[in-house]
Chains A and B, each alone.
Chain A
């Protein structure tokens, strides 16, 4: 198993005071909190940080951890020494520990001891609520935009916390094939009745899957509306044209009115994210200039310059 350098995770010195550790935790927790952070690996970083803080904030655990010395380098193979934990009394898990998931490293050092008190006291079974009904599970997935546009099923990989035979909290993978409801929006939740924990005497809990979307190469969602940037040639914008335009329902011929400018927004009603009142697709025009790489193209640009008494900077009060 991997040795974890909790001091390095928290960015503090080995002789840091309790106050310094707390301060470092607060600062990093705000930075990597999955609800706040836009960093890619925020969730993993936040978990690691929580684990490091769990150990370093507790004088007993920190002392025990320090006794390991510097141990092997982070990432190297590690086994706890046989006399590990003797002479230290761990005062039990903090709040919410039953929900938290720890690394194998943490579990091997503090796992059973830290959670023993907690479970012993309440006879707590994480799969069952107080009423005997199975607990609801909550998960989060990131889908492609097509899932909401077309519907269809997706194989979702969820991690489920479970208590194993040794009393350790571990997470197992569960793959569910889920029909994605057409028209679901980011931040909304798919509820799967009876797919939470439990079964047995009480009814099983439900599974709540919060949905977010990956960025799409073409469409940018805003509520139920979609935005598409459509490049057109200068002559198409100036003279008007009918151009092939992708929409979620397939290619359409879009009529560009003569005299269109960059930034012109055209609305295709009802071609956004589906619903009883579907969103619209907004096509935003951009003017793409052909490069003047050969003699013929350069001549064409020169001819344009001759043809137009055009000052693009007139509004800046600058003459040509």
Chain B
């Protein structure tokens, strides 16, 4: 067990990160082909391509990891994962709206 008395200072990952496909595959511990599949299925979107290399926003990390967990844990195929993610986002938005209406 390690502990630190002095506060560690971090950064908000999503604000600065521009990820290459290699960054993303390393951070998710999957191979590049899986990231390509996520893009082809529309789960992840490429924000820019620099010298033929894809670039992703920092938010892609969380999305890719969620997709990966859903696929592994629920044995859902990729189109199913894409659909689930879209519906979950919609559900989140509706829940927020419902909460504000209930007050």
Residues of A within 8 A of B (CB): 26, 29-30, 33-36, 46, 50, 95-96, 129, 135-136, 138, 153, 172-179, 181, 183-184, 187-193, 195, 208-210, 220, 222, 227, 229, 284
Q: Is the CB of A222 within 8 A of B72?
A: no
Q: By the criterion of a CB under 8 Å from any partner CB, how many residues of chain B are at the interface?
A: 37
B48 interface residue, CB < 8 Å from A?
A: no
Q: Is the CB of A179 within 8 A of B73?
A: no
Residue ID in chain A nearest B67 by CB atoms: A35
Known A136-B27, A175-B3; 7 more pairs at CB < 8 Å: A26-B75, A35-B88, A36-B88, A176-B3, A189-B58, A193-B10, A222-B100
Q: Shortest 7 CB-CB distances between A and B: which pairs? A: A153-B7, A189-B13, A191-B13, A190-B10, A192-B10, A179-B7, A179-B9
Report B1-31 CB contacts with A as 1/0, cut-off 8 Å.
1111111111111110100000000110100
Q: Is the CB of B88 within 8 A of A189?
A: no
Known interface pairs A189-B13, A190-B12; A178-B61 also in contact (CB < 8 Å):
no
Cross-chain pairs A/B with CB under 8 angstroms, 30 sampled: A26-B74, A26-B75, A29-B74, A30-B74, A33-B69, A35-B70, A36-B84, A46-B73, A50-B73, A95-B72, A129-B26, A172-B1, A173-B1, A174-B2, A175-B1, A177-B5, A178-B8, A178-B9, A178-B10, A179-B7, A179-B8, A181-B10, A181-B11, A181-B12, A189-B13, A190-B12, A191-B11, A191-B17, A220-B103, A284-B103
Q: Is the interface of B mostly helix, strand, loop or mixed?
A: helix
Q: Is the CB of A189 within 8 A of B1?
A: no
Residue ID in chain B nearest A50 by CB atoms: B73
A-B contact count (CB 8 A): 95
Q: Is the CB of B62 within 8 A of A176?
A: no
Residues of B within 8 A of A (CB): 1-15, 17, 26-27, 29, 58-59, 61-62, 65-66, 69-70, 72-75, 84, 88, 96, 99-100, 103
Partner of B4 from the list A29, A96, A176, A190 (CB cut-off 8 Å) is A176
